[in-house]
Amino acid sequence: MSLLKKILKPFLVVAPYVLRNGQTVAYPTERPMFSERFRGRHRLRLDACISCGMCARVCPCNSIQLVEVPGMEKKFPQIDYQTCSFCGYCVNNCPKSSLVFTDLVEFATTDRKTLVYSPQRLMEVPDIKDVVPMLKYRTEKYLTDTEKKFRRVKEV
């Protein structure tokens, strides 16, 4: 009898899942919203940077270099995202908070040289709509409403 229960019970558990909705985020049309502390691409505020070089010294992956910027006297950090591990040491140890994280994660490119971001490129963060043109919805996270389909939170 218990064997029969062990054969039939899994059916009753699994079968309702077929009627549930998938939990997949259909990426180019949907994109999850990240939290405030999310470590995505950096943004550099050139006016606040004092060129102390702390970020380059603390970087465990040696992906930060100080380079010259045309038209400026000082040197500014250039980040190589081929090796960056997004550990956040540079952001934490920045004395003037001139390096901050954004929630941009779209790094895909056809040339790996373009993954080396110069200070000028680090300065401006592109709009998400320009990076992912097919994006229609930003979705909320699982924890808020797991059992249902993601509510479309806000249209981009």
Interaction site with other proteins (CB under 8 A): 3, 6-7, 9-11, 13-15, 17-24, 26, 34-39, 57-58, 60-61, 85-89, 92-93, 101, 141-143, 146
Cβ-contact 84, 61 below 8 angstroms? yes
| Tokens linked to 32 | 């999850």
Q: Which is nearer to other proteins, 22 or 133 (CB)?
A: 22
State the nearest-atom distance from the C-beta of 141 to other proteins, in Å: 5
State the nearest-atom distance from the C-beta of 132 to other proteins, in Å: 15
Q: Which is nearer to other proteins, 49 or 90 (CB)?
A: 90
Rg (CA), the chain: 22
State the nearest-atom distance from the C-beta of 70 to other proteins, in Å: 31
Separation CA 95–CA 52 (nearest Å) = 9
Alpha carbon 45 to chain centroid, angstroms: 19
State the nearest-atom distance from the C-beta of 110 to other proteins, in Å: 21
Q: Which is nearer to other proteins, 89 or 107 (CB)?
A: 89
State the nearest-atom distance from the C-beta of 108 to other proteins, in Å: 17
| Tokens linked to 122 | 């680090």
Of 118, 123, 70, the C-alpha closest to 98 is: 123
Separation CA 23–CA 142 (nearest Å) = 8
Q: Which is nearer to other proteins, 35 or 111 (CB)?
A: 35
Q: Which is nearer to other proteins, 29 or 114 (CB)?
A: 29
Give the type of residue at 80.
Answer: D
Of 68, 84, 86, the C-alpha closest to 76 is: 68
